[in-house]
Structure 1
Amino acid sequence: MRRHSAGQLSQMLAVRIQALVMELLPAGQRDGHEWRCGSLAGEKGQSLAVHLHGARAGVWCDFAGGQKGDALDLVAACLFNGNRRDAMAWAENWLGLSNATSDAPVQRRPAIQEKLNTSQELDKAAQRMRAKARRLWQEGQPIQGSPADAYLLNRGLDLRMLPHMPGSLRFHPGAWCAEVRKPLPCMLGAIASPVGKLVATHRTWIQQTPSGAWVKADLRAPKKVLGSFSGGCVRLTRGASGKALGIADAGSSVIIAEGIETSLAVALSCPEMRVLAGVSLSNMGAVGLPPEITTVIIAADNDGPNNHTARKALEAACQKFADQGREVRLALPENEGDWLDVFKAGQDLKRS
C-alpha cells in the first residue's frame, strides 16, 4: 500500500472538511465560512473556528487555548492528543486509502467524551449568564454626557478627544450590585468574543460625591464582570484604518492593555492605533485576534520588580502571541503604576 505524506493527507482532508468537522466536532455549527464550537473537546461555543472554503479550508484556531493548525492537526488534536502519526493512520482509513474498514465511526477517548458531557452542562449555564449580560447591556444608555462620561472625565479621560466615541461603553442608571443588595449607577463595557459577539458585560459602579463629582463607588469590589469572557476583550478604538477588528488590514497592529481606564489612556495617547482592553491580566494573552493582526503591543502595568506572579503572566501572554507567529512588544511604564498614571502625568507612552 502506498503511503501518503502528512501534507497530502491534510490537503485531502481539507477537500472534505465539511464532512470531517461534522464527524469530529458534531456539536459545532456553521458560522459564515467557518465551523464554530467551544473547544477541541467539541462542545458548543465560539472559541474554535475551522475554515470551510477556499485556500484556507481546514485551517483552524482555538482562540481560547491558543492552538492552531491544518486539517490533519485537527484530527490529531481531537482524537490523539496531538499525535500526528496516529492521526495519519486514522486519516488514511477515513479517506478510504487503506485496506482497513473506512466506515467505522469516530471513537473519542473516554476522557474527551466525559469532558464533552460536562462541557454541555456548563455551556447551558454559560448561555444563561450570557443572556443576562446581553440584557444588561441592552438596558444601557449612550455614554456621552452621562455620569459614566463624567466619571471618566474626572479621571482625566476625555472621550471627545478620541476619533470616535467608543460604542463599547455605556451608562446604566441602576445596575444591581450584590455587595450592597441594591442597584447603583454603573459604567458598562461590552466584552466581545473573537467574532465580535457580546459574551459578557463589564461593570464599574460609580457614585456622586457631595461636591457633584462622579467617582468609583466605595465598594470592596467596584468592578465586576457578568458572564464568561475568556478570549474576549472590550474593543475601544479602531485606529487609523477605522475598520472593525474582524476585517482588519493585513499586517495590522494592535495595543492590548488591561483595564478599561488604562486602555483609554493608551488610546488617547496613540489615537492612530487600535486599542483593546483585555479586562484582566490573565486574559490579555488569551484575547482572540484575526491572522491579519501581525504585531501585538502589550501595554502592561508596572507592578514592581517583586511581583513575580504578574511578570510570569506577562511573559506567558507574550509567548502565546509569539507562538501564533506574531511580533510581540511589551510596553511598561518606567515607574511603578499603569499607563493611566503616565497619561495623567503628561508623559508619552513608550514602547519597548
Structure 2
Amino acid sequence: MSGSPHDLARRLADQAEAVCRRYLSNGRREGHYWLVGDVRNTPGRSLFVRLRDSMKGPAGKWTDAATSEHGDLLDVIREALGLVDFRDVAEEARTFLALPRTEPEPRNARRPVASAPAGSVDAARRLIAMTQPISGTIVEAYLRNRGITALHGPGSLRFHPRCYYRPDLHAPTEVWPAMIAAVTDLDGKLTGAHRTWLDPDGFDPIRLGKAPIDTPRRAMGDLLGNAARFGVPNDVMAAGEGIETVLSLRCVLPGMAMAATLSAAHLAAVLFPDTLRRLYIVRDNDPAGDGARDRLIERAEAVGIEAMVLSPALGDFNEDLRALGIDALRASTRVQLAPQDVSRFLASAA
C-alpha cells in the first residue's frame, strides 16, 4: 500500500539525500551521512542520517548523538515542519515523492462549512492547525522562566497568539496568547489538545507566567490513554502529569522519551507502547499523585513492564528545578534510576 507509513518511509529512504537537502537544509553531506544539529534543522553536527544501506543499518535512519533520539525520514519531516498529525506528515511526504493524494476529491466537490463541536477531536485539530512553532514566542519565554531551558524535541508544543477563552457559557469571549500541546495516541494520531493561557505582560512569580484568569489550563478532545509526547519511546519511557513537570525532568534525562498525561487520572490510564519494558512514573507529591502511582504500577506489572517511581523533593519536578536548581535535580534523579539507565539517559553536568 503506497500510503502506509512503512512504504512512505522506504520511498523516502530511496531519496535520502534529497530529503535531507529539503528538510535538513542547514546540514551537509559527509561521506555516506548527512550531518546537522538536530531533527529540527538546527545547524550543527550531532545528528547523522544514513544516506545508503550499509552493514550498520538501512538508509534513511537517523540518530542524534547528543540526545539518543532516533527515527526515520517521516520523523524528519514531522519535526522539521512542526507537524503533529500523521496525516499531515504523510501528505507532505506524498507531495515530496510526487505521489497522488490518498483521497482525491471530485473537482466540483464542496466541503461543508461547519464548526466542530466544542471540545471535540475535530475542534482540537482545527486549533492545532492555527498554531505556530514556539521558537522566539512567549511560550519559549514562559518555559525558560520556569527553568526549562533544554527545549530539544518540543514538537508537541505550539503557540497560538490569540486563543479564545470563555470563563463560562454566559461570559464574553476573551483572547489570550497560549501554549498549545498536541495530544496523540501511540500511533501519533492527534486526539486532543491542551491549552495553557499565558500572561502577555510577563512572568509573574505568583501565577508563574500563566494568564490572570480563573482556569488558565484546559484540555479538549479524547484524552484517556493518550498524552502530549516528547521523544519516541522504545524500551524505556517516563510518564507524568504536567507538561512543565515532564519537561523539567527531561532537562536532565534528554534522551528518554516522556509523556505528559495532563492529570493524575489520565496518568493512571496511560497506554503502553508494545516495545516498553521499563516505565518511570513521574509522580507529583500529593494524594492524587500517590493514587496514580499505585494504579499505574499495578497495570504495568500485570503486563510484564517494570515500573519505577521518580519522586520530587518538593511538590513536583518543576518546583524542584526552580527552587533547588538543575544540579540538585540531576543528583536526586540519578539515585532513582536503574543503574543501566544512568549512563544511557542522564545528562552530565555542563
Quote how far apart the aligned CAs of 1:154 are. 1.2
Work out whether residues 184 and 192 of structure 2, in 8 Å CA contact, stay in contact via their aligned partners in 1.
yes
Match runs of 1:151-300 below 5 Å: 151-158=142-149, 161-162=150-151, 164-179=152-167, 181-209=173-201, 215-236=209-230, 238=231, 244-245=232-233, 248=234, 252-300=235-283
Moved over 3 A (4+): 125-128, 210-214
Q: Distance in 1 between matches of 2:214 and 2:229?
A: 27
> Taking structure 2 as the reference length, what is the TM-score of the superposition?
0.56
Q: How far off its partner does 1:285 sit?
A: 2.6
Greater Rg by CA: 1
Aligned-pair CA distance for 1:209: 2.6
Count of residue pairs brought into register by the alignment: 212
Asked if structure 1 preserves the Cα contact closer than 8 Å seen for 2:202 and 2:209, the reply is no
- Aligned equivalent of 2:317: 339
- Residue 211 of structure 1: how far off its partner (Å): 8.1
What CA distance in whole angstroms lies between the structure 1 residues aligned with 2:274 and 2:301? Answer: 12
* Residue equivalent to 1:315: 294
Contact 2:228–2:260 (8 Å) recurs in 1:
yes
Structure 2 residue identity aligned to 1:298: I
Change (3 A) 1:320 1:186: same
Residue identity matched to 1:313: A
* SS of equivalent residue, structure 2 residue 182: strand
The question of 1:132 aligning with 2:111 is answered no
- Secondary structure at the aligned position of 1:185 is classed as strand
Q: Which residue identity does 2:190 align to in structure 1?
A: L
In structure 1, the partner of 2:134 is 143
The sequence identity of aligned pairs, in percent, is 31
1:337 deviates by 0.6
| Map 1:30-179 → 2, pairs under 5 A | 129-158=120-149, 161-162=150-151, 164-179=152-167
Q: Deviations over 1:106-133 (max 9, x none)?
A: xxxxxxxxxxxxxxxxxxx989811110
CA offsets 1:193-230 (integer angstroms, 9 cap, x no match): 12210100000000123789981011221000011210
User: What RMSD in Å do the two structures reach over aligned CA positions?
Assistant: 2.6
Deviation sequence 1:73-132 (CA, Å, 0-9, x none): xxxxxxxxxxxxxxxxxxxxxxxxxxxxxxxxxxxxxxxxxxxxxxxxxxxx98981111
Deviation at 1:324, TM superposition (A): 1.8
| Structure 2 residues without counterparts, runs of 5 or longer | 7-115, 338-350
Residues 195/323 of structure 1: CA separation in 2 closer, same or farther (3 Å cut): same
Distance 2:157 2:289 in 1: 27
C-alpha spacing 1:216/1:329, structure 2 compared with 1 (3 Å): same
2:304 pairs with 1:325: yes
SS of match in other structure, 1:216: coil
**Structure 1: runs of 5 or more not aligned:** 1-30, 34-124, 239-243
